[in-house]
Amino acid sequence: MTDEPRHFLDVDDVSPTELETILERAEAYKRAQHAGEDHEDLDGQTLGMIFQKPSTRTRVSFETGMTQLGGHAVFLGEDDIQLGRGEPLKDTSRTLSRYVDAVMARVFKHGNMEVLAEYSSVPVVNGLTDDAHPCQTLADLLTIREQEGGFEDVSAAWIGDGNNVAQSFAIGAALTDIDLTVATPEGYGIDDAVLERARDLGGDPTTTHDPVEAATDADIIYTDVWISMGQEDERDVRMTDFEGFQISTDLLEHTADASVMHCLPAHRGEEITGDVIESDRSVVFDQAENRLHAQKALLSWLLE
């Protein structure tokens, strides 16, 4: 590859028009896959998948997606490759670039994702860092469009931790003009720099510490775990700090018949009750399925 590759480290690595193209392609892939039609647009291509943290959805949707596109994916758990024994990321990146057509990675520090991208001559896709989860946002936007018929006049409430999923969702909401309110306990808000990026993109996220204020009249209620991967030591303090932020049927009374979203895995009885997850308001498994279609669209768009 001679041209600089496009990377996808967060949602605003694509323009609103490019995002629309990717979402439309995802819808086409979803229709094709449900109809059993061939769509082997990445015939013979290989995706390397680096994982420093566990995964169910990201791993399986990327691997299955590559197979459905006629390509192949290689799972590279940190401890299965020399990275786990200290080989520098920049060497790992340059080596993988000589073999594979794209790299997807799940790492702790966002800066490490940037190193991978800097040294890669093939597209690098962020499969989650401590700061961002943009592939999740692509699936979320696809799900919201299915539920609401578009993004116009859609209001969404993020309730819980202002974490990686929240931060990428805030960027995605800004790019699609979704009206977003973010309710977090004090000290757990979205980073100021991310809010500023969202505003620069034309978004106007409201922040509050009141979950009821956020939920009132919302079309979408979105939450995620209170303890993300790598934060296990903070469990006790977080369980106290997040009291009152649980998504329950009582909280949903304040909404406009909202759809409930969660990126999964969910911790029933913590950030969300079991009955809400199992209710007909819940679209969490549509979100999970849409990871597959959205990422296939992203990969084929990055590699064309």
Segment lying near ligand NVA (by CB under 6 A), choices 74-82, 94-102, 225-233, 270-278: 225-233
Catalytic member of 59, 106, 238, 281: 106
Catalytic member of 25, 59, 133, 262: 133
Distance CA 227, CA 240 (A): 12
CA distances from 127 to 207, 212, 287 (A): 26, 31, 15
Distance CA 10, CA 114 (A): 11
Q: Which is nearer to ligand NVA, 42 or 225 (CB)?
A: 225
* Phi and psi angles of residue 207, each rounded to the nearest 5 degrees, phi first: -115, 145
For residues 119 to 158, the per-residue mask of contacts with ligand NVA, x marking binding by CB under 6 A and - elsewhere, is ---------x------------------------------
- How does DSSP assign 180-248, residue by residue? EEEE--TT-PPPHHHHHHHHHTT---EEES-HHHHHTT-SEEEE--SS-TT-GGGHHHHHHHTTT--B-
Distance CA 225, CA 264 (A): 8
Segment lying near ligand NVA (by CB under 6 A), choices 28-36, 206-214, 224-232, 235-243: 224-232
Q: Which of residues 251-290 bind ligand CP (CB under 6 A)?
A: 263-264
Distance CA 261, CA 28 (A): 23
Query: Is 133 an active-site residue?
Result: yes
Segment lying near ligand NVA (by CB under 6 A), choices 6-14, 21-29, 173-181, 222-230: 222-230
Segment lying near ligand NVA (by CB under 6 A), choices 172-180, 221-229, 277-285, 286-294: 221-229
For 83, the token pair is: 């990275």
Catalytic member of 161, 291, 293, 295: 291
Nearest distance in Å: CB 186, ligand CP: 26
Q: Which is nearer to ligand CP, 62 or 242 (CB)?
A: 62
User: What does 56 bind: ligand NVA, ligand CP, none (CB cut-off 5 to 8 Å by kind)?
Assistant: ligand CP
Which single residue brings its beta carbon nearest to ligand NVA? 228
Query: Is 263 an active-site residue?
Result: yes
228 lies in the binding site for ligand CP (CB under 6 A): no
Contact 245, 160 (CB under 8 A): yes
Peptide bond before residue 5 is cis, with ω within 30 degrees of 0: no
Q: Which of residues 103-122 bind ligand CP (CB under 6 A)?
A: none
Q: Which is nearer to ligand NVA, 66 or 135 (CB)?
A: 135
Residues that contact ligand NVA, how many (by CB under 6 A): 9
What separation, in Å, do the N-terminal and C-terminal C-alpha atoms of the chain show?
Answer: 12
Query: Is 59 an active-site residue?
Result: no
Sign of the four-CA dihedral 208, 210, 211, 216? negative
Contact 107, 78 (CB under 8 A): no
* H helices present in 13-105, as ranges: 16-35, 57-68, 89-97
Query: Is 291 an active-site residue?
Result: yes
58 lies in the binding site for ligand CP (CB under 6 A): yes
- Binding stretches for ligand NVA (CB under 6 A): 128, 163-165, 224-225, 228-229, 263
Residues that are catalytic: 106, 133, 136, 224, 263, 291
- Binding stretches for ligand CP (CB under 6 A): 55-58, 128, 136, 263-264
Binding site residues for L-ornithine, as ranges? Answer: 164, 224, 228-229
